[in-house]
Amino acid sequence: MTFISAWGPFIITILYTITACILGYSAKGKLDMDKMENWSSSGNTMGVIVMIFLTGAGNVSSYTFLGAPGWGYSRGVACLYVVVYMAFIVYACYLMSPRVTRLALKSGYRTQAEGIGARFESPFLRILCGIVGAFAVIGNSLVQVIGSGNILNVMSHGAIPLWLGELIIVSAIAFYVYKSGLRAIGWTNVLQGVMMFCLSILVGLFVVYTAIGNLNIAEAFKTLQETSPQYLTLPGAMNNFPPIYWTTSILISVFSFWPQFWVWAAGAKDEDTARRQYLYVPIFYFVMIPMMIVGLVCVFAYTEFSGDSTDQVALQYCLDKLPWWMAGLLGAGILAASQSSAEPQFHTSTFTITHDVITPIAKLSPEKEGRLQRKLLLIVIFFIAFPLSVTNPGELVNILLVCYGFIGQLFPCMLGVLCWPRATKTGAIAGLAAGVLVVALFNIVWPNPLYVHAGIWGLLVNLPVFIVVSLFTKPASEETLRKFFPDYIMDQLYEEV
């Protein structure tokens, strides 16, 4: 093996990271990033093209290029739940994001917790939602950080340990997000999005061709059916993903409007931009399909795989079977997926902790908050996310599913913000506390009872408590409610009174 074939893929991967750093660093333009609204929401300057890539690339993460193929290789068609739930998420965001943009432009609500706290006239609820949201987003960021470490570890043939690979990538992200905030995320996601879309299709075709000698995907599935039919039906090859868990894993994602979705919508130029992006984002999600096929093909075409983690199977196959330059481009593409999701997750969790937890308690001015949130970014990355990722708590997809359980508990609060004027702060606090407690217990003590996702159990408690307590407690003032609901609805409500 020549030097270029051995280390060429690693060099290409590192060159991509350097390019992303340069692009992200330059993104700030003339905006003063010490101002909270510029660093956090790009001063409402992002058009529809940047918004499409911000959302699309931001949702296609390490689990798409590493976790999903790994699940395809180890479990089979259970990995396809990702395709279904992303479709539902897009529809939910299409309905909610324009309303969020309207609230941001009209009243300046930049974060999900701020909007919820204002709607329910409760600083305490704002802090509580900020903590829950930041916790879930930081947990989700671990998927990206661990994925980044896996990439550099495999590409360097083990010379770079997982922890060092993770440190290199989080340092790069910290460098340009600290400098340029949400604009850096938007600009780099355009580059990363184009790379991911093209490379996933190209790699998928290459893998199918090397495995069966042609590009007939149907033949690849026929071969899998003949050799390992258990991979094509639930509960899957490991017999641990029954239909009810598959279904409830999809269902909890439908109720999960992540804090970064609110931040992205708050950064849009107008409501139409926030709405139109979700007409095109589903096209971007086609990148998932080829990578899942890669994992399924590896079941019969890569029986010699002996890696420590099935999350590495797609990348290791490409290193062993494909031309070095193709493996290098795939490594860069996977790194793009990791960084494009880690960037907004670090950014949003930092913004939420500063804006919704620290500022309400410490009564910071916007200027002090603007300076603090950039410094806090470094703390979140290097003293929270990175140390947790080094522990490598589990498979990438499993980590993601746990995070969905917690973030899904904010759904009743979002109903109160967008749909139900009668909801009260007491109902929201009681429901959220009960739901989060159930999710924690059903992840730690009794994992997913009856194979129902812990997040669904949480909502089964959260929603009734939210509704019943709201009906017996005092709603917000008319003045507050008129900021969130159209006049024709409010006029009818108060005419009846």
The three-point CA angle 133-110-108 to 5° equals: 145
**How far apart are alpha carbons 406 and 199 in whole angstroms?**
33
Give, in degrees to the nearest 5, the angle at Cα 432 between 428 and 436: 180
Model confidence pLDDT, tens digit, residues 173-207? 989 888 887 778 877 877 877 888 888 888 888 88
Q: Give CA–CA dist 326/318, Å, rounded.
A: 8
The larger pLDDT score, comparing residue 144 to residue 413, is at 413
Identity (one letter) of the amino acid at 464?
A: P
Q: How confident is the model at residue 489 (pLDDT cuts 50, 70, 90)?
A: confident
Q: Which of 257, 273, 299, 295 is nearest to 115 (CA)?
A: 257
**Would you list the domain boundaries of the chain?**
3-397
Residue 318 has pLDDT above 80, yes or no: yes
Tokens representing 392?
């490598």
* Residue showing tokens 């086609």: 286
Strand partners, 46: 268
How many CB atoms within 10 Å of residue 404?
A: 25
Percent of the chain past pLDDT 90, that is, above it, reads: 35
Q: What average pLDDT does the segment 339-351 reach?
A: 86
Say what the pLDDT of residue 147 is. Answer: 82
Task: Grade residue 464 by pLDDT with cuts at 50, 70 and 90.
Answer: very high
- Per the prediction, the chain carries an average pLDDT of 86
Of 491, 489, 480, give the one whose Cα is nearest residue 120: 480
The CATH number of 3-397 is: 1.20.1730.10
DSSP 381-405: IIIIIHHHHHT--S-HHHHHHHHHH
Which has more confidence, 162 or 43? 162
Residue 420 near residue 413, CB atoms below 8 Å: no
pLDDT reading at 497 higher than 70: no
Asked if pLDDT for residue 470 goes beyond 90, the answer is yes
Residue with tokens 């902790």: 353
146 closest CA partner among 327, 340, 329, 395: 395
Determine the Cα–Cα distance for residues 274 and 438; give it in Å rounded to an integer. Answer: 34
Q: Is the pLDDT of residue 45 over 50?
A: yes
DSSP, collapsed to helix, strand or coil, labels residue 446 as coil
- Predicted confidence (pLDDT) at residue 130 exceeds the cutoff of 90: yes
Query: Tokens 């309303």 belong to which residue?
Result: 99
Q: Is the dihedral of CA 36, 37, 41, 43 positive or negative?
A: negative
Is 296 or 143 the better-scoring residue by pLDDT? 296
Which residue is associated with the tokens 């919704």? 356
pLDDT digits (tens, 9 = 90+) for 77-107: 888 888 888 888 888 889 899 999 999 888 8
How confident is the model over 451-473, as a mean pLDDT? 96
Q: In this model, does residue 44 exceed pLDDT 90? A: no
DSSP secondary structure letters along 47-72: -HHHHHHHHHHHHS-HIIIIIHHHHH
* Pairwise pLDDT comparison (475 vs 286), residue with the higher score: 475
Torsion-angle region of 209 (φ positive above 0: left; ψ -120 to 50: alpha; else: beta): alpha
Distance of CA 496 to the CA centre of its chain: 43
Of residues 189 and 464, the one with the higher pLDDT is 464
Output the six-digit token pair for 457.
Answer: 């159990």
Residue 391: Cβ within 10 Å count: 10
Ranges 309-318, 456-465, 479-488: which has the least confidence: 309-318
Q: Are 404 and 256 in contact (CB under 8 A)?
A: yes
How far apart CA 37 and CA 31 sit, in angstroms, is: 10
Beta carbons within 8 Å of 95's beta carbon, 6+ residues apart = none
Q: Is the pLDDT of residue 283 over 90?
A: no
Mean pLDDT of the region 215-241: 89
User: Phi and psi for 18 in degrees, rounded to 5?
Assistant: -65, -40
- How far apart CA 317 and CA 118 sit, in angstroms, is 51
pLDDT band at 337 (very low <50, low <70, confident <90, very high): confident
CA distances from 340 to 170, 173, 194 (A): 12, 9, 11
Give the Cα separation of 307 and 305 in Å (integer).
Answer: 6
- The residue among 482, 483, 484 whose CA lies nearest residue 494 is 482
Given a contact cutoff of 8 angstroms between Cβ atoms, the answer to whether 110 and 350 are in contact is no
Query: What mean pLDDT comes out for the span 208-228?
Result: 91
Confidence of residue 34 (pLDDT cuts 50, 70, 90): low
Model confidence over 347-401: pLDDT tens digits? 889 989 999 999 999 888 877 887 888 888 888 889 888 998 888 765 666 788 8
Please compute the mean of the pLDDT values over residues 57-71 and round it to a whole number: 76
Span 461-468, average pLDDT? 97
